Every structure is written in C-alpha cells, then in structure tokens.
C-alpha cells in the first residue's frame, strides 16, 4: 500500500520583495522584484511531500483558509502537487493567512506572518480529523496554528498510529504536555536555542550534538534532528547518532528550505529508508530549494533530487 504523510498546518499567501539588505528597525529600504507566491509552513511541507513523494507517498493537509481568492490559489497550488486538500476548510471569521517576506542578496529572509484563518483552526476542529490520520505513517506539524490545535493534532495522530514530527517553527517555548506526543523534533539552530533557553548562535557539529542531547533530555522527545543550514543536519536518538553533511549550492532564497527538509525526511522515512539515506535525501531536497526563489515555487520534484544525488556521487 502507498504510504501516507498527513500534515496539519498553515496556508499563507506570501508577499515577497527582493531587497539589497534586510531593513533594520525604523529603516526604509527600496526593494526590487515583488511576487505573490503560495506559502505557509504547513502548506509548504504538504506541497513538498506531494512533489517529493511523486506517487510513491501520498500527501494530504488539514488547514484553514478564508473565503477569498488567495484560498483558491493556495489550494490549487497544493492540488497541482498531488496533495489531497479535502481537509482544508474555509472560515467566514478570518481572511486567508498572509506572510510578508523580504529576501536579501545572500538569500536570507525576514518574515512577518498575519495568521488570519490559520488561527481560527480550533483544537475542537481536530475531532473531525480522524480520517486524515488513520492511515498515515507520518504526521507533520509546525507552529503557525494555535498550540492547542497542534497538541490535539499530535495526540490524535499518535493515537491513530502515525509517527509524529514537529517542526518547532516559528520558534516558541513548548510545554511538556504537548511534547509528550512528539516522536521526532526538528529544530534549526535558533529554534533549538529558544527551546533550551540559550542565546542564539551558529553551532559546530559537536555543539549541535550537545544541543540535540540536551533537547532529548529536556523535552523527552526520543529523536531530535538538528537542522544546521548549509552544514547539513544531525540526528540523535537512543540508539544512534548520524551526521549528514549539507550540499554546497549557491543560495538565492532560503524560504521554505526547512519545510522542504522536513517533508523530504518524512517521505524517505515513510518509504522505509534508514536515517542516514533519509537525511541525505532531505538535505538534497533542501539544498535544491534554496537555489530557487519562493516557498512552494522552490520545492524540487523527486526526479530533480534523485538526479542531483547521482551527480553528487559521480
Ligand atoms: O517556512 C516558510 C514560510 O514561513 C513561508 O512560506 C511563510 O508563509 C511563513 O509561513
């Protein structure tokens, strides 16, 4: 049977402006190109599951949008990637979520999200999602919907037999009663620092290993995967530790690189790959995503990732 990855999360319309340098507080800068592109951490992860799964893994998403044109556009983008959007419902109380994104010449970004309908996704709505998770081998979550909704979704997915993966983004301290339902936690360096209550810093691989160990200890989550940007990633669980180096590429826009990584990891694990090849696949997908602008617009197809991995070997 084709494995299923289910996502509960946000859908946003991204308003993206290219700038020379990111503005500092109180500063006005002139931007160049402006684009409206499909985004939202949940939708990006679902889209990436669809493209990277390419028929070998089925993807679906549960989320909330408004009654507006953005909603139609966002659902169409996901459907085109093969994602089942039947659990994306519209609410009259809020407009579809939007994100304002500046991207500088190095491909780094700043993002402000106006959550809109994503925040109208109530914990009680999760009661209607049993069918979304019942045959899912992996269930993906992020933090752009209310924490209570994330917790209810994690609990339901776990009770239905899915392995749960939480991307703790945007960074927020998380209560133990939510973390108890998480099987795999995937922070980047700044999210790890928030969870650990430490100052944000770039980490060496040895420091990433130490941070992952501290997170396992502090959160009780069995598997921690530290996302280290161009350095790659570090997996730590009770039995093994795996460092998977990143692939050097020229970054034009890092938006959704983390989302692409999580989806790549979930797709590979759902197909039965072991940690090391799954991390390599996820790193390759994320590396390719930063070579293109936009969130969902930058997510590579599976064939592109497979070709890239073959080129890296040869
Ligand atoms: O992770 C990238 C995403 O963060 C963007 O697509 C934007 O919508 C924000 O949610």
Q: What is the largest CA-CA distance in the chain?
A: 55
The dihedral built from the CA positions of residue 101, 246, 45 and 174, taken in this order, carries a sign that is: negative
Contact 120, 143 (CB under 8 A): no
Q: 170 near 143, Cβ under 8 Å?
A: yes
Strand 58-65 with 109-114, pairing: unpaired
Tokens of 80: 């085109």
Of ligand 1's listed atoms, the one at least distance from the Cα of 40 is 8
Is 167 an active-site residue? Answer: no
Residue 149's pLDDT is 98
Atom 9 of ligand 1 has which residue's CA nearest to it?
40
| Nearest to 117, CA basis, from 138, 99, 90, 140 | 90
Question: What is the pLDDT at residue 42?
Answer: 98
Task: Decide whether any atom of ligand 1 lies within 6 Å of the 16 Cβ.
Answer: no
What is the per-residue pLDDT for 275?
A: 98
Model pLDDT, residue 233: 98
**Nearest-atom index, ligand 1, CA of 39:** 6
**Closest ligand 1 atom, CA of 97?**
8
Instruction: Name the active-site residue from 125, 167, 253, 259.
Output: 259
| Calpha distance 294→311 (Å, rounded) | 24
Q: Of all atoms in ligand 1, which is nearest to the CA of residue 13?
A: 8
Task: Give the end-to-end CA distance of the chain in Å, rounded to a whole number.
Answer: 33
Q: Is the CB of 7 under 6 A from ligand 1?
A: no
Q: Answer for the pair 86, 61: CB distance below 8 angstroms, yes or no.
A: no
Say whether 249 sits in a helix, a strand or coil: coil
Distance of CA 312 to the CA centre of its chain: 25
Mean pLDDT of 226-253: 97
Spatial separation of the C-alpha atoms in residues 90 and 116, rounded to whole Å: 11
Quote the ligand 1 centre to 40 CA distance (angstroms). 4
Of 1.10.260.40, 3.10.129.10, 3.40.1190.20, 3.40.50.2300, the CATH number of 4-22+32-313 is 3.40.1190.20
* Structure confidence by residue, pLDDT tens digits, 138-156: 999 999 999 999 999 999 9
Q: Give the model's confidence band at 314: pLDDT under 50 very low, under 70 low, under 90 confident, else very high.
A: confident
CB of 295 closer than 6 A to ligand 1? yes
Verify whether ligand 1 is closer than 6 Å to residue 259 (CB atom). Answer: yes
Q: For the residues 247-266, what does the mean pLDDT come to?
A: 97
Give yes or no for residue 270 having a pLDDT over 90. yes
Give tens-digit pLDDT for 39-56: 999 999 999 999 999 999
**pLDDT recorded at residue 313:** 87
- Spatial separation of the C-alpha atoms in residues 300 and 17, rounded to whole Å: 22
pTM of full prediction above 0.75: yes
Phi, psi (deg, nearest 5) at residue 223:
-125, 125
- Ligand 1 pocket, mutate which of 44, 73, 254 (most atoms under 8 A from CB): 44
Mean pLDDT to the nearest integer, 192-203: 95
Among 14, 171, 191, 293, which residue has the most ligand 1 atoms within 8 Å of its CB, making it the best to mutate? 14
Per DSSP, the residues of 225-238 read EEE-GGGEEEEE-S
Residue 165 reports pLDDT greater than 80: yes
What would the mean pLDDT of 284-305 be, rounded to a whole number? 98
Q: Look at residue 76 and give its three-state secondary structure.
A: helix
Instruction: Determine the pLDDT at residue 161.
Output: 98
Per-residue burial over 191-217, b = 16 or more CB atoms within 10 Å of its CB, e = otherwise: bbbbbbeeeeeebeeebbbebbeebbe
Report the candidate in 194, 197, 251, 258 with the shortest Cα–Cα distance to residue 227.
258
The pLDDT value recorded for residue 268 is: 98
241, β-bridge pairs: 236
d(CA 108, CA 253): 6
Ligand 1 centroid to residue 6 C-alpha, Å: 18
How remote is the CA of residue 11 from the centroid of ligand 1, in Å?
Answer: 9
183 lines ligand 1 (CB under 6 A): no
Query: What is the tens place of the pLDDT at every residue in 89-147?
Result: 999 999 999 999 999 999 889 999 999 999 999 999 999 999 999 999 999 999 999 99
Chain mean position to CA 210: 23
Q: Chain-wide mean pLDDT for the chain? A: 97
Q: In 3-state terms, what secondary structure has residue 109?
A: strand
């Amino acid at each position: 049977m084709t494995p299923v990855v289910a996502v509960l999360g946000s859908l946003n319309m991204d308003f993206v402006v290219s700038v020379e340098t990111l503005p500092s507080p109180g500063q006005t800068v002139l931007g160049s190109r402006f684009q409206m592109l499909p985004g939202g951490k949940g939708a990006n992860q679902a889209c990436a599951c669809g493209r990277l799964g390419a028929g070998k893994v089925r993807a679906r998403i549960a989320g909330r949008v408004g009654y507006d044109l953005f909603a139609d556009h966002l659902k169409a983008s996901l459907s085109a990637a093969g994602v089942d959007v039947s659990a994306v419902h519209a609410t009259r109380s809020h407009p579809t979520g939007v994100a304002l994104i500046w991207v500088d010449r190095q491909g780094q970004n700043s993002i402000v999200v106006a959550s809109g309908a994503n925040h109208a996704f109530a914990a009680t709505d999760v009661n209607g999602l049993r069918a979304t998770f019942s045959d899912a081998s992996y269930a993906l979550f992020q933090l752009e919907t209310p924490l209570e909704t994330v917790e209810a979704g994690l609990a339901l997915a776990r009770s239905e037999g899915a392995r749960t993966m939480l991307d703790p983004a945007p960074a927020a301290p998380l209560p133990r009663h939510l973390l108890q339902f998480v099987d795999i936690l995937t922070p980047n360096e700044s999210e790890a620092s928030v969870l650990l209550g430490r100052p944000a810093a770039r980490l060496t691989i040895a420091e990433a290993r130490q941070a992952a160990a501290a997170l396992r200890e502090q959160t009780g989550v069995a598997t921690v995967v530290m996302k280290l940007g161009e350095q790659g990633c570090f997996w730590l669980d009770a039995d093994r530790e795996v460092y998977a180096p990143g692939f050097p590429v020229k970054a034009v826009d890092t938006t959704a690189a983390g989302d692409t990584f999580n989806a790549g990891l979930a797709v590979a694990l759902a197909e039965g790959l072991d940690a090391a090849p799954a991390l390599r696949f996820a790193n390759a997908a994320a590396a390719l995503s930063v070579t293109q602008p936009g969130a969902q617009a930058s997510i590579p197809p599976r064939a592109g990732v497979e070709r890239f991995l073959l080129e890296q070997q040869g």
